Structures are given as structure tokens and as C-alpha cells.
Amino acid sequence: MCGRYTLTVDAAVLAELFDLDPLTDLAPRYNIAPTQTAPIVRSTRGEREWAEARWGLIPPWSKDASIGSRLINARAETAAEKPSFRVAFASRRCLVPADGFYEWVKTPGGKQPHHIRFADRRPFAFAGLWEAWNDPEGDTVESYTILTTTPNALVAPLHTRMPVVLEPGRYDDWLQPAPLSRALTDELLVPYPGDGLEAVPVSTAVNSATAVLGPECLEPVGVQGTLDF
């Protein structure tokens, strides 16, 4: 599962990763939560573009937007067949920029958040799907979900799922307009091997999705460093 993530890097760094012009209004985000709006990268007529979308996919047939809060993640193994995701999986795939994500582990003192990221703090992209939904007033709401897979060795002690992290060299494969072959899907939607990643215990301030949104969410607690399991 991926229920919170971060995007704190400079706009120029992010633009270089996705080969796009920098976002002009990008502010550091330390606690991106479901139903909030965040940037995604998608392909339109063969060209990459930025878009702002709501986290939590709202299928076009939905009666209201509330379903989105339950569709923040899609299982990579079944998304192509699920009614909520199959149309988007076939033709509306996207990249979700991030530079870390949170997972929690139960401890005697309560649930301890960990920030999973590259040790050099470089940004990356989750594999995502996006949709457009028309609300009762006729306004269009664009939304997205993050694909998840089985965890790598680093994440496994924290959770049974992890978001799909794509290598930059595979971005075009994921964004192509044509449906993906099963062979390509199996290549792309796999656990990131964990090289260069670290899981850092951080402040429980991140547990609040609305009250605490600043850098204090990433304040380390205990011992930093790459976990060795």
C-alpha cells in the first residue's frame, strides 16, 4: 500500500527527470494524502505533459467522488481486469512524481512511520493510472491511483505491499498510448530491487494528514541509515 508520500525536490530537478518544462508553482510537499491534488505526468498525442489531479481514482461511471478515497491504490496483478481500473490501465497510464513514501510499523509505543527514499534523495516516479469524471454540476475532475506490488526486502518488514517504482528508462514504455502486452506488464510492474533505498524512522507528526504538512514530518527519530534485514 501507499497511503502518503512526499515531493520536496526543486522544480528544475523534477523537470529534468521527466524532460518537461519546470512547474511554476511547485512547493515542497511533505505529507501528500488521499483526496489531495498533486502533479502527475501523462502523455497526450505522444507528448508528455504535466497535469494536476486528485489522489484517489474516480471511475467515469461513479455516482459521486467519495469512491476515490477507497481507490488510492490499485494492485498491479489485477488492475487490468478490475472494473474500476481496466479502462485507465488500457489507455490512461501516468507517472506520479515523488521523492519518498511512508509506511508504518506497529511498535510497543504505537505505529512508527518510516520514510522510504533513495539515500541521495533523488526524485522518482510511481506507476499510476488516471481518469476523468464529470460531477453532477458538469465539472470535470481528474484523478489518479498508484499501482502497488509485492514488497522488496527493505519494505517487507514494514508492509505487505509497496508502490511500483519505475526506472526512468521505462517511462515511455509505461506512457505509450497502446495497451500493454502481458509480457511488458510483467517486466514493468515489479518490486523495485531496493538498491540505493533507505527506510528512515521519522516523526509521528506525519500521522496527521491535515494538521502537519511541513518538514517536521521528515524529522528522523532513532538511528538513521539503510535498514539491513
CATH number of the domain that 133 lies in?
Answer: 3.90.1680.10
- Residues 177, 180, 184, 189: is their CA dihedral positive or negative? positive
* Cβ atoms of residues 201 and 102 within 8 Å: no
Residue 207 within a domain = no
224 in any annotated domain: no
pLDDT at residue number 211: 66
The domain in which residue 164 lies consists of 5-101+122-196
| Residues linked to residue 138 through DSSP beta bridges, in sequence order | none
Q: Which amino acid is at 47?
A: E
| Confidence tier at 138 by pLDDT (50, 70, 90) | confident
pLDDT at 107: 87
Mean pLDDT of 2-23: 97
Residue 68 placed within a domain: yes
How many domains does one find in the chain? Answer: 1
Q: Please determine, for residue 39, whether its predicted confidence score (pLDDT) is greater than 70.
A: yes
Q: Does 205 map to a domain? A: no
Set 94, 103, 131, 198: catalytic member: 103
| More confident call, 195 vs 187 | 187
Q: How many CB atoms lie within 10 A of CB 5?
A: 25
Evaluate whether residue 208 is within a structural domain: no
- pLDDT over 80 at 222, yes or no: no
Of 2, 131, 198, 217, which one is the catalytic site residue? Answer: 2
pLDDT for residue 224: 40
Pairing status of strand 165-166 against strand 100-107: unpaired
217 is catalytic: no
User: How far is Cα 160 from Cα 163, in angstroms, rounded to an integer?
Assistant: 11
Q: Is residue 170 part of a domain?
A: yes
- Asked whether residue 92 is assigned to any structural domain, the reply reads yes
Domain annotation covers residue 135: yes
Whether residue 228 has pLDDT greater than 80: no
Tell me how crowded residue 21 is: count the other CB atoms within 10 A of its CB.
Answer: 11
- Active site includes 2? yes
